[in-house]
Structure 1
């Protein structure tokens, strides 16, 4: 596709430049530790990831058994915000819960 700028110069655009790429997605993961109460983890999952109690409990059990559990997949900015919110909440409550994000 060709367009002209203000000086009537022809500007070529390739089809590749015109195609928008979907945003990279990131998994938000909770990591197991030996100190954070299971009930606190369930409440974090419900509050910050909008999961019902049963789903939150299943994620918490996965964290407990496997060492980590995925709470959701989001664009980078949203994932980063969720990680920070969870970490801040856990620290204020005195728990060492770890929350990280990695590219999906």
Structure 2
């Protein structure tokens, strides 16, 4: 191989590396409202986000006191599915609980 071929190989490898980078993450956040019960928020945190009871209660209190609570960072499709699951379950239970995602 000549030096030119090696230079080209480096460009190809760099290009492939760029395509193989980690996908962006999205932060999922639950927002406080005046109607959703604390118990329901804890249930969501345990069932959808798989927190244990102590962690779920701590996050719920953060949501209650600060207006929002961090639930985790996920790839886009997983974050979207968790936001949709929270919204679906909240609507089914008659609560206006809001859950959003934002790019990290």
TM-score normalised according to structure 1 size: 0.86
1:100 matched residue in structure 2: 100
1:17 matched residue in structure 2: 15
CA RMSD of superposed structures (Å): 1.7
TM superposition shift of 1:13: 6.9
Q: Which runs of 5+ in 1 are unaligned?
A: 3-10
Divergent runs of 4+, >2 A: none
Distance 1:12 1:60 in 2: 53
Aligned positions of 1:19-58 closer than 5 A:
19=17, 20-58=20-58
Distance 1:82 1:74 in 2: 9
Deviations 1:37-86 (A, max 9, x none): 00000000000000000000000011111111011110000000000000
Instruction: Provide the secondary structure at the position in 1 that maps to 2:80.
Output: helix
Which structure's residues are more often helix, by fraction? 2
Q: Which runs of 5+ in 2 are unaligned?
A: none
Instruction: Provide the secondary structure at the position in 2 that maps to 1:51.
Output: coil
2:72 matched residue in structure 1: 72
TM-score normalised according to structure 2 size: 0.86
Which structure's residues are more often strand, by fraction? 1
Q: How many positions carry a matched residue from both structures?
A: 96
